Structure 1
Amino acid sequence: MELTYLDYLFLDLFSTEEARKVNSLFHILTGKRTVSVLMQAMRMDLEAYFSLFPKLQPTIFEEKINQFIRSDLLTFELFLTEEGKAAKDNYFDSHTRPTKNRIKYHAVLAPFKARSLFLTQVLSERIHNNKNYLPLQPRLSEQWWLKKYLKEHNLNTNENCQKLGQEWMDLIVNAKISKPEMFVEQFEGYHKTKLTNNQIGSKYNLDETEVYVQLQQDWIQLIETIEMSNSGYPLLASLLKELTRDGGLCSESAKETYQLWKAGFAIEQIAEKRFLKRSTINDHLTEMAILYEAFPFERFLDASQIDYVNNQVTAGKAIDYNDVQEKFPGIPFFQSRLMQVKGETSHERK
């Protein structure tokens, strides 16, 4: 069986140390926004695969797995074989392997890309005084957003418009984008037409799916670089801030809870206002804890629980649910799950 790039991506989801459930992997790949799926992705170190293929069909995924079993790359119990491990590791020595954490920026990745490219196109055409072009974003809502953004940032002169170009040049260098010339093929502007992933693949002799994965990683790398140095990229940083503030990293429902919680409402009040169960609000708070580094765990966990997590992390140990229940008898499920999240995110952010 000759494997494709996509096949190797799927094979990379499996482990020689544990059998992994097909449904869990499928939900990670398609980006199911539940706390259990998010935590499974973190526990299995598959954050880079979260929502990588949101339109993936289960029958296609299952057939690939069956092919792996027939080719002795996976066992019937869904352990990765040594042959399978060697094959994928060897392949990714010379191909793009997903490594960037997609969980945190999943909700803002697509709109940040779309808006920054739209802004770039418009300013490029404006500098050359060209009004005869098709906008990348035909939706009125996005065009109204752009008009508001241009006004707020005084982008009505060539000098100010050129500032965005300088930001892009600095950002691409500082973010250490591996193939800058390939990355800018996505841009459209005056006398420049963007290329599709398929066209980029043909030009650079790459599989179209590999182009997609590489560019997705590049965008996350850019976002991370902007967040670490807001002052260096004021235009792009303000665009990103619009998307991430007020719970923008969360799912739509969790975002509503975030805004009420930030306004000072207690969990019971939020549940009552939103006609939801308290457990659902707890799930929203847990999602926030996963996504926001500044989440105040101390508001929900006491000092002994936080010390326990910190000690486990320092010792390089995972926060096991059963161990937590034994150490803290009667602890509510919400708190024990927050302890697990704190352990996973502390390890991730070290």
Structure 2
Amino acid sequence: MHKLTYLESFCLSLFSRTISKKGATLYHIVTGKRTASILYNAQHYKLSSYFSLFPKLKREQFNYIIEKLDRLGLIKKAEVKEEYYLTEEGWLYCQQYFSDHTYPVHLNLLSNGTALKQFWRIILLITQVLSESRYHNSHYLPIEKEWEKQMWLKKWLKQQSKNKQELAEQFGKEWILLLKQLPSLNAELIVDCLSGHHKIGKTRQQLADSYQLDSFEIELLLLDSLSWIWKVIEEQQQEVPLFHSIYQAINKEYRGITQSAIVTESYLLEGHSLEETAKLRQLKFSTVSEHTIELYIVEPAFDLSLVLSEKDFNTVKQLLEEQPTIAYHEVVEKRPEILFLWYRLAQIERNHRNE
């Protein structure tokens, strides 16, 4: 068996035996480059869950990984320049490697990655504050230095009907309920990260040393555990009302959409067309079109009638159903009036149906 690091093995798993993928595109997906084309490719490749998974990964390091995987025969070049397939040997390696190592299955980072990270920071701070409250200790340094997070916590505490002692007890019970639904390793990892009275949460490297795992594997274990907790809170909100109140507030504040796309959406909701929105915002039509693509990829419930008629949309959908691999220039040859935006939105709708 080839000797690869956890990061190299995970990058290998992003390739497919049936669909060729460009290494540069994969890099932009896992580092979180938020353009319409990268967002679409993340969805098309079924890798939206891993969007911005490794935001600090250097391009040189990623290129080295791709070259190594190619040299070892775990991926092979496709006819299209800079695209690769996963080889049979590479597929077998992934099957064997991830039978003994973590592979995240609960992530949905494109839609909630930012919210999840903010949620974790708030949860860590609340846990510390309420733990110290249980021991009537007010002389400690908060683990969260950002002033906005501290103000967020003060506002949240004021909104609660219980005093701090009752709140701390209830919060602890909800923590136990959530942790009991995780595998033991995941639960232990979460607990090791928590700070409280006479307890300091471990760093990623300390966790890696403690569990004798690669630091990247620790990071993914933690993220996957948090995503699991996120889903439990969604599904069992009545059993964890305190956690759910935090989840609701964070989810509302961090939608997973860029601020500029949110502004474009507000104009559309006011009844402006895309052309009017572009003019009012002093942006190119292509820019507000990309905002629409971003909105529809991240939030499938986005109302497409805001940007095109049902008749026009059905026309493009019909063309895609007749010729699933039809390129846009071929569409235009048949129907010159069809915009690229309509074509892309129809592709995205098809991807949503196939997810």
TM-score by length of 2: 0.86
Structure 2 residue 25 is the aligned partner of structure 1 residue 7: no
Q: 1:302 aligns with which of 284, 307, 310?
A: 310
Alignment partner, residue 40 of structure 2: 39
Contact 2:261–2:292 (Cα < 8 Å) also in 1: yes
Name the SS of the counterpart of 1:276 in structure 2: coil
- Listed one character per residue, the Cα deviations across residues 215-270 of structure 1 (whole Å, up to 9, x for unaligned) are 11111222233233433332222222223326722123223333444455543443
Relative distance call for 1:120 and 1:19 in structure 2 (3 A) is same
Render the CA deviation track for 1:262-319: whole Å, top value 9, x for unaligned.
4555434433343222321222122121222422234435157459859989x9x968
C-alpha displacement of 1:15: 2.1
SS in 2 for 1:231: coil
Q: TM-score, normalised by structure 1?
A: 0.87
Change (3 A) 1:64 1:247: closer
Q: Displacement, 1:69?
A: 2.0
Partner Cα separation in structure 2 for residue 231 and residue 321 of structure 1: 48
Say whether the 8 Å CA contact 2:73–2:87 is kept in structure 1.
yes
Unaligned runs of 5+ in 2: 79-83
Partner of 1:74: 75
Does 2:226 match 1:225? Answer: no
- Which residue of 2 is the match for residue 92 of structure 1? 98
**Counterpart residue identity of residue 86, structure 1:** L
Q: 2:121 aligns with which of 109, 114, 119?
A: 114
Report if aligned partners of 2:128, 2:195 keep a CA contact under 8 Å in 1: yes
In 2, are the aligned partners of 1:121 and 1:188 still within 8 Å (CA)? yes
Give the 3 Å change call, closer, same or farther, for CA 68–106 of structure 1 in structure 2. Answer: same
Of 201, 217, 226, the match for 2:208: 201
Aligned residue pair count: 346
- How big is each residue's C-alpha offset from its partner over 1:159-206, in whole Å with a ceiling of 9 and x where there is no partner? 123222222222333466862122221111122211112222222222
| 2:350 aligned partner, one-letter code | G
Following superposition, the deviation at residue 135 of structure 1 comes to 0.6
Aligned to 2:56: 55
Q: Which is worse superposed, 183-192 or 249-258?
A: 249-258
How is 1:317-336 mapped onto 2 (pairs within 5 angstroms)? 321-322=327-328, 330-336=337-343
User: 2:75 is paired with a residue of what secondary structure?
Assistant: coil
* Mean CA deviation greater in 28-37 or 338-347: 338-347
**Counterparts of 1:262 and 1:147 in 2: how far apart (Å)?**
34
User: 2:81 is matched with which residue?
Assistant: none
- Report the counterpart of residue 24 of structure 1 in structure 2: 25
Query: Is 1:212 the counterpart of 2:219 in the alignment?
Result: yes
Change (3 A) 1:245 1:179: closer
Alignment of 1:184-195 (within 5 A): 184-195=191-202
Partners in 1 of 2:11 and 2:244 — Cα distance?
34
Q: Which amino acid aligns with 2:282?
A: F
Say whether the 8 Å CA contact 1:246–1:258 is kept in structure 2: no
Distance 1:158 1:321, change over 3 A: farther
For the 8 Å contact 1:31–1:52, the answer to whether it is kept is yes
Deviation of the 1:154 alpha carbon: 3.8
> CA separation in 2, counterparts of 1:177 and 1:259?
45
**1:54-90 Cα distance to aligned partner (Å, 9 max, x none):** 1111111111111122222222443222212211221
- Among candidates 268, 279, 282, match of residue 272 of structure 1: 279
Structure 1 spans left out of the alignment, 5+ residues: none
> Map of 1:116-265 to 2, 5 A cutoff?
116-154=123-161, 156-174=163-181, 179-245=186-252, 248-262=255-269, 265=272
Q: Which moved further from structure 2: 228-237 or 189-198?
A: 228-237
Question: Structure 1 residues 220 and 302, CA, compared in 2 at 3 Å: closer, same or farther?
Answer: same
Residue 221 of structure 2 aligns to a residue whose secondary structure is helix
Contact 1:120 1:188 in 2 (8 A): yes
Q: Is the 8 A contact 2:316 2:342 kept in 1?
A: no
- The amino acid that maps onto 1:302 is E
Gap change, CA 1:251 and 1:177, over 3 Å in 2 = farther
Q: Could you tell me whether the CA contact under 8 Å between 1:107 and 1:250 is conserved in 2?
A: no
Identity level (%): 33
Report if aligned partners of 1:49, 1:98 keep a CA contact under 8 Å in 2: no
- C-alpha separation in 1, matches of 2:4 and 2:345: 40
Question: CA contact under 8 A between 1:72 and 1:83: conserved in structure 2?
Answer: yes
- The CA distance in 1 between the partners of 2:318 and 2:147, in whole Å, is 49
Q: Residue 287 of structure 1 aligns to which amino acid in structure 2?
A: E
Q: What is the letter of the counterpart of residue 234 of structure 2?
A: E
Q: Which amino acid aligns with 1:116?
A: I
Contact 1:121-1:187 within 8 A present in 2 as well? yes
